[in-house]
Amino acid sequence: MPLVGYLSTLSEPQVAPQLAAFRRGLGQTGFAEGRDIEIIYRWAEGQYQRLPAMAAELVNRPVSLILAQAPPAALAAKAATANIPIVFVVGFDPVGGGLVTDLNRPGGNATGMTLISHVLGQKRLELLRDLSPKAATVAMLVNPLSPDTAVEIRSIQSVASTLGFQLAMFNAATPAEIDKAFDDIVKKRPDALLIGTDPFFLNQRMQIVKRASQLPVPTVYPFRDYATAGGLLSYGTNIANSYRQAGIYAGRILKGANPAELPVMQPTTFELVINLKAASALHIDIPRTLHARSDEVIE
């Protein structure tokens, strides 16, 4: 029975929907966990320094394939093996990040899905402008340890001045640092808040949403999970669908497909989710035009 390594940057309870979607994708290619394959799970729980050892452990088993969840896990898996196939789900550019040489023909042992989250940051800034037309200063929470943070910041800075925003960056890589960052944000008194796409933040979304809800300003988040946790508004890729596609790719590779010839897939649809209960608590009026464009409204 083939062994599949599931290398996650996050923790199991926080990624249950993604894991379920991955299993559905495997099922579409005829694989069921426990019947046709065995999956070995390794959870870094937001502690990125644990990933290289976890990746090496999976390689030494050895597994037949590694599913790498988020950029830190993908980079650790890529560094650990040049032979075992890797299917990744990442938010950054896989070419610029060194995972593949070309999106259409990856050319190595890795392929998968990109959520293009760093590009969507520009759209999130535009949504902040819709929510708060007079906003001047936007605070942004980022993780300095994340491999895609620098790219995300550059992408957002390129459009911030065009929209008339002054960006103020706040770093956090631990739960304690998140609280410290929010204490500093309160002192800065920004007009709006943007949450970076780092997977550790997704793991800590309840903490982040709670602290953001105490600010009397609009906050835009990168994924639907934040809005369902009580956040005001999110805009991003349907993550579950990307993990389902990753499961399909994993199944195809287990059947003999070459990852070097499987194009990296990019999303074609994006979700705008608005939490009206959060808007009411913050005394924020959602513009009718924004409401009309939403894909989901939580009341």
What is the rounded average pLDDT of the residues 208-232? 95
Confidence of residue 119 (pLDDT cuts 50, 70, 90): confident
Measured CA to CA, the distance from residue 278 to residue 214 in angstroms comes to: 11
pLDDT at 55 over 90: yes
Non-local CB neighbours of 102 within 8 Å, separated by 6+ positions: 95
Would you state the pLDDT for residue 46?
86
Domain residue ranges in the chain? 3-115+238-268, 117-237+271-298
Would you state the pLDDT for residue 92?
87
Measured CA to CA, the distance from residue 202 to residue 47 in angstroms comes to: 13
Answer CATH for 117-237+271-298 from 1.10.10.10, 3.40.50.2300, 3.30.930.10, 1.10.760.10:
3.40.50.2300
| Burial (0-12, 13-18, 19+ Cβ within 10 Å), 155 | buried
- Cβ contact 80:59 at 8 Å: yes
Number of C-beta neighbours around residue 275 at 10 A: 25
Would you state the pLDDT for residue 144?
94
Non-local CB neighbours of 23 within 8 Å, separated by 6+ positions: 33, 247
CATH number, span 3-115+238-268: 3.40.50.2300
pLDDT at 117 over 80: no
Non-local CB neighbours of 31 within 8 Å, separated by 6+ positions: 37, 250, 251, 254
- Cβ contact 179:168 at 8 Å: no
Is residue 110 classed as helix, strand or coil in its secondary structure?
strand
Helix, strand, coil shares of the chain as percentages rounded to 5? 45, 20, 35
| Strands of the chain, DSSP E | 3-8, 38-43, 65-69, 86-90, 110-114, 137-142, 166-171, 192-195, 219-221, 233-237, 270-275, 296-298
Would you state the pLDDT for residue 118?
65
What is the rounded average pLDDT of the residues 174-178? 96
Would you state the pLDDT for residue 242?
93
Identical topology for domains 3-115+238-268 and 117-237+271-298: yes
Non-local CB neighbours of 41 within 8 Å, separated by 6+ positions: 6, 8, 12
Q: What is the residue-averaged pLDDT of the chain?
A: 94
